[in-house]
Structure formats: C-alpha cells, structure tokens
Structure 1
C-alpha cells in the first residue's frame, strides 16, 4: 500500500515534469493542456458573461431611467413655473401699458383743466334694457357724488346716477337722450374750433351704435373726421372731454340746422377701468344754450 502511494506520486511528478517541459518549450504555440484549459474556460465564461452583462446593463438602464425621470420632473416643474411667470409677466405688461396710457390721459387733461380723476373698477354691467347702468367700486366714502362724470382714457362714458357708501351706478351716455333725462343733454363742440362750433349730443342709435349731435348751425365748420368734445356749457359735463368722431353731417329738421352722426370714443363693450371726474364746482343743471 505504501509502495503504491509512492508509485502514484512518482507518476504525478513525471506528468508534472512533462507538462513543465511542454510549457518551457517554444511559446509561439500553446500546449494542448493550455488550449484545452482556455477553450474550456472560454466556453463557460461566455455563458457566464452574457447574463452578467444583461443584468449589469439592466441595472445601468434602470439607474439612467431614474435620472431621466428626475430630470423630466424638474423640467415639468420649470415649464409650469415658466408658464405661470409668463402669464404673470404678460398680465403685468398689459397692466403697465394701460396705466401708462391712463397716466398720459390724466396728465393731458390736468394740463387743460383743474380736474381730479379717481380711478375705479367696473364690477357689474346691467343688461336690463330699461336700466342699463354700470356699477363701479367707488362710493360716497370715496367722495363720489351724483352727476359726476365718468370717462375712460378714450372718452366720455356717462354720469353717476346713484351713490352708495362703497359703490355707485353710472348711466352711460347711450341712455342720456331727450326722452329720458332732458336736463342732462351734452353740450358739445369741435376740438380746435371751440369758438366756432356748437351742438347738442342728444340721442343714441342702438342699431348703428352711433350718437347723434343736433342743433348745429349752418355756418358751423364741423366736418367728417372732427373730434367732438364737451363744451362745458350747462355745468354738468366738464369742458374738453372727448365724446367721439364725426362720421357724417346731414341737414336737420326744416333745413334750418344740421345734425351729425358720431362714433363714440369709449368702448362700452370692454369697460374694466374708468375715471370719475371731480371738478371744483359741480352744478346739477344749467343753461346749455351757446
């Protein structure tokens, strides 16, 4: 038994020496044990590497997808913030332009007459055909009184006809006519020709959306394209407020006077902000003759 073990050890040693001899020889070619070992390890390696590569790639893709998701979430938040800020900016820009126009309007009017202008928000517009009034958010607590004139930066809107502590009602000039409020007719003239022109804005045509100016003298220089303003006569409507633009002139009743068709300057369909005009002396009625 002992001799057999010795014999096996000798055989193993001889084989080891033979293998070493093969390896010590020409290294340009691999020995068959090396080829066998490499082929065997390569075969098992490819079957082990592919699943490992798939798993590694999957883990990497999942990690990358998580990063992409986070980036997309941040981009969505940034896009939402940009949209919000863009809307806010556009709103502020529009408001700024409106305020700039209104400031120019008030400064221009102040250079003509010593009026004070109170800016008000339109909170409601009545659709009742028998009571078409405009509701504003200024009242007696703000110094508003009956018969104060209301305007926009474009032109005349109407008169204050009711005053509450915090709100007031305004009757637009489209309702100030001979059949309703005959003491509130608008004495008017032509801008730049105040000493030569005079008439009464006394009616509104709902179908055409035009105002009518009557009692115009045959010698009046009024013509198409002229800007019609309040003349200040009658002590109701302050002088110099734009009413509208002349569209055409016609011969009036009996051929003694002329009438004119006027396009209102104020846009009554898009009233959001208006001005209440405070004058030093406000009368309720007066003589409106030239």
Structure 2
C-alpha cells in the first residue's frame, strides 16, 4: 500500500509540473493555442483521474481500518450488554428474594411460637413436583413428618417422609394433601383446600365444602384457618379464580391459583413448633 501511494504521488507531481510550465508559457501570450488548450484539458482530466483514484484508494483503506475498529467496538458493546443483562437479572432476582424474605419475617414475627428452618430443594421425588421434592434437612434439624413447608409467598405443602439429613415435601398441588382453609374477606372457615389440575395440567388448588350462602368471589384471598391443629393459621394459600355451586351437594367450591409457583421454588422454610406437642401425629 505504501508503494502504491509513492507511485501515485510521483505521477501527480510530474503532471503538475508539466501543467504549470504550460501555464507559465501561455501567460505571456494573449491566447492559448488549440494544441496547448487540448494538452491542458487532457492533463487536467488525467490529473483529476489520478486524484480521484488516489482518494478512493485512501478512503477504501480508511474504511477497511475503520471497519475493523467498528467490529471490535461492536463486540465490546455486545459483551458489555450481555454483562448488563446478567446483572439486571441478578438484581431482579435479588429484589424478589428480598421481598420473599420480608414476607417470611413478617409472618414469623406474628407467629413466634414456631421456629423456621430453611431448606434447599435438591430434586424431585417422583415424576414431577406434584409428587413431591427432596430437601436437604431432616431429623438432624428436628424435622418431623407432617410439619409444614412454606415460602414468603405462601403455603407449599407438608413433610411426608424424613431421613437423617433429608426429607420429602409434598406440595399442595398433590391431591393427597388437604388443608383447612379460610376466606380472608368473609371469614368463612369451613372450607377444605386440595390440589387440582385444570385441562392444561396447570397446578392449581380448590377450596370445597363452603356453604351455599358463602359470599366468596373471584379475587378473594384464601389462607389456612388453623383448624385441625396441623397447619398454623394465617398462611396465605392463593387467590380465587372462579366460583361454582353444587346444589346437589349443597355447597360452594372455588378454583384457586396458589401464590407459590411449585415448579420454580428453590428453597422453603419448615415450620417447627417450639412445643412439638402442638403437632398431632
């Protein structure tokens, strides 16, 4: 490329000197001859051609250099953007986790008769989460069968099996789990909450056995009533999606969307009574 630049420069200098000589010679004459005029036009055309070619080559060289720089900058921007997105997701997850802990602490502050043992989920115990999942605490932490699992969002389920350093929790979505439920707004506390799946196999819940005159409606909050002595009162379960009546059974029922997404939880708190006599084994 350097050789090409030097060669072009020499040609341009020769043409410029020739053209200036003709101008000097013609300056002393009133009129330029036809031949001189033709030579001048030709030289100007050729000189312009060389200048255009020279600048095009130089601009092409600049474009190649700039393209390489732009590509490098683009890669750096992509990397920075990826890192920013990762940090944003981590920040969002941290905010949600913090909100969950705040809700959990708010509940534990009200119910000081319990200890709350944190546990990580290590896997599922069957084909899916509705069959139950395995946690990394057991008898070594005072965990016993029928103790309750929850998160800051709400009720998860119940401990059904216990080992030395592990336990199995069955989610509320499992149809074998039943919870005494309360309609927060109306105070109806004679309902039973059980697992339920819709036509799309979505994990939901259902509150049954409410009286026909119950004022339960869409959007109502369902929580544990505390009746039966197993589940502490006041643990949020979910919100009502729809209500229907079964006049043959003389009762109302409602479909509930749980506050906890059973397929996405990573950790739970096991509710351990400080006085273990409160659990009816």
TM-score, normalised relative to structure 1: 0.63
Cα distance in 2 between the residues matched to 1:174 and 1:44: 92
Counterpart pick for 1:231 among 225, 233, 254: 225
How is 1:63-74 mapped onto 2 (pairs within 5 angstroms)? 63-74=61-72
Residue 156 of structure 2 corresponds to: 157
The structure with the largest alpha-carbon Rg is: 1
Residue 170 of structure 2 corresponds to: 171
Residue 22 of structure 1 corresponds to: none
| 8 Å Cα contact 1:117-1:275 kept in structure 2 | no
Q: Offset of 1:84 from its aligned partner?
A: 0.4
Residue 112 of structure 1 corresponds to: 110
Counterpart pick for 1:91 among 89, 92, 95: 89
Higher mean C-alpha deviation, range 67-76 or range 45-54: 45-54
The 3-state SS of whatever aligns with 2:270 is strand
Cα distance in 1 between the residues matched to 2:34 and 2:57: 34
| 8 Å Cα contact 1:245-1:263 kept in structure 2 | yes
Q: Give 5+ residue unaligned stretches, structure 2.
A: 1-25
Cα distance in 2 between the residues matched to 1:231 and 1:152: 17
| 8 Å Cα contact 1:150-1:159 kept in structure 2 | yes
1:248 partnered with 2:243: yes
RMSD of the alignment, in Å? 4.3
Residue 265 of structure 1 corresponds to: 258
| 8 Å Cα contact 2:129-2:262 kept in structure 1 | no
Counterpart pick for 1:191 among 184, 195, 201: 184
Cα distance in 1 between the residues matched to 2:85 and 2:57: 42
CA displacement, residues 192-212 of structure 1 (integer Å, 9 cap, x when unaligned): 666x633433x4343464424
Q: 1:52 to 1:141 in 2, by over 3 A?
A: farther
Residue 29 of structure 1 corresponds to: 28
The 3-state SS of whatever aligns with 2:95 is helix
Residue 79 of structure 1 corresponds to: 77
Cα distance in 2 between the residues matched to 1:245 and 1:104: 20
TM-score, normalised relative to structure 2: 0.65
Q: 1:252 to 1:286 in 2, by over 3 A?
A: farther
Q: Offset of 1:77 from its aligned partner?
A: 1.9
The 3-state SS of whatever aligns with 1:189 is strand
Q: Give 5+ residue unaligned stretches, structure 1.
A: 1-26, 178-183
Q: 1:207 to 1:126 in 2, by over 3 A?
A: farther
Q: Offset of 1:59 from its aligned partner?
A: 4.3
Cα distance in 1 between the residues matched to 2:257 and 2:81: 38
1:145 partnered with 2:143: yes
